Structure 1
């Protein structure tokens, strides 16, 4: 498993972003029983940069906490059947399944950790778990989908001990 972390955040995170990302990504991959070694790209930015990306990619003119850009299309969320037949889904050198990109605003993560009364580590881990589910094809546009994602996020976070406690 490869997690490529690009820290473009101009402030100080104050947490071990690389270690937490590795833990949560691995837990998420195990949680969905992905049969492949995987690759994830993670970029840490501030509110200005995520605002720019959100406007450019989604047409939404405001900063957000996290953006997910899946590189794999699934027949149904978390179903890896048939992917081995798509060589474009795998990195040509490493052979890893290229799940996609995650962009996190550390400014928003800090704001939300304070607003929700939990640690920055927990908020950061939550944003990664949430995004990993998007990279596995899950969404939360409908209430039923939202409930499924929320349950899965919490189970992943409990496994790596980033709970609200």
Structure 2
């Protein structure tokens, strides 16, 4: 797996961001049954930068926690069969790795939401990566049914890593 982490802000979290990202990405790949080595980019940024990206790509002029930019068009979420037929579109010709896409996370939002939801920054950060990985596998949450399915999958991925919802710490 090639996970490129790009830091665009000075915000620090009280955790090893690179190690947690790698663990969540690997677990999500295993969970989805991805049969390929993959490459993806994770950009860590601030609220202002993610607001600009959100405005440009989604026409929503406010900061968000995470944005996902999948590079694969799935017929069915997490159905990796048939991708080799479009090898030139989906695989890096130099490495042979499946190019999943890009994840952008606002570290300021990680901090804010961890406090808001009463859990650790690690839990929030891992949750956002798991959420985004599911988007990179073709899942979405446009309907209530899709949202419930995606939320359950996120929790299963985090449960496998023993990153559980935590009690609020005062």
Band of TM-score, shorter chain: over 0.9
CA distance in 2, matches of 1:14, 1:6: 18
RMSD: 0.8
Counterpart in the other structure of 1:128: 129
Counterpart in the other structure of 2:43: 43
Counterpart in the other structure of 2:164: 163
Structure 1 residues 87-140: Cα deviation after superposition (integer angstroms, max 9, x where no partner): 220011111100000000000010000011100000000000000000000000
CA distance in 1, matches of 2:126, 2:97: 23
Counterpart in the other structure of 1:67: 67
TM-score, normalised to structure 1's length? 0.98
CA distance in 2, matches of 1:53, 1:59: 9
Aligned length: 165
| 1:23 aligned onto 2:23 | yes
Counterpart in the other structure of 1:107: 108
CA distance in 2, matches of 1:143, 1:12: 34
Structure 2 regions of 5+ residues with no counterpart? none
CA distance in 2, matches of 1:134, 1:119: 23
TM-score, normalised to structure 2's length? 0.95
